[in-house]
Structure 1
């Protein structure tokens, strides 16, 4: 009996995913056609590789150019989207104003703020190791988590155009937090998502890597 196609690919690849080079269990593996079948790709082994089902679904029937662009966007550090940490959606209560959006307290009020039973304020100059850029505020991180949860829930119905994505984010944040997001903070949010490799915007078209 001949060896199944997927088993042959796994054997040739040493049991590793073709893209991220991490161990790939047989139960989680699937066949990715480099040139999608919908675009005329064949089932020949020169056009097929083994990868996880999550990545297979992400690449879908994209053109070979789009797939190469996704790989190049990882800058040599390809992290499988299946292993990305799941960011929980924040609570539905309105977001607390960030430091950049909160006006300074009047003179004489600083003492009362220090005595309030709230978590200690970050010490200036202290270093932390968040997944986001150090310049991203807590409010902005919550917004990114909210947007990620919504985009993952949408699946294949995610916005594919930059203009549609921005209007979707504006409506989502206004609806879930009762606070509109400014154009400047919306731009920072998209820049941070692109920095993390969660999405790519090219010529107004959006590609996701969630």
Structure 2
């Protein structure tokens, strides 16, 4: 799926039309993970800083309507006519309702989980309920998660052992550097998860 940024290309009238279509069930809005230097920010896209701070964000959450042709991201201007709290609440509820499953990786001794291939596989890291399933499946209180690009997620226990952790990081780097599938990059880092929520990160920039 291609992406576009609402701004000069998407008028308020177009957004209002999409909102009406959304209310009728045609389109849904979702939180969408982006790197801190996402060009959409310069176009006025609304965002929540997930990693970093307001002056130097590393990973941000944008909000976009999933239409048949592209994602249409909301900007601050569009929120002049929309209820921001309602929109954001709806976006996260849609993500919570989005079904993705974890699978054990036999190649990694069934000690790594994968959950990839769907539009919002990566964004599901924002769902504590989803990540709690990973805790349970790996029988681990502390997880490391990689979401190098959109549609990709891998999970491992932090105490999995040096050899497996090294293989895990290698797989992350391969995915981070591989643009052949056209999936937008998110972050060159590992996310530390406890009790289903992000509690820290481990940067992997060289």
| Alignment TM-score, normalising by the size of structure 1 | 0.27
Q: Which structure would you say has the larger Rg?
A: 1
Question: Which has the larger share of helix?
Answer: 1
| Alignment TM-score, normalising by the size of structure 2 | 0.27
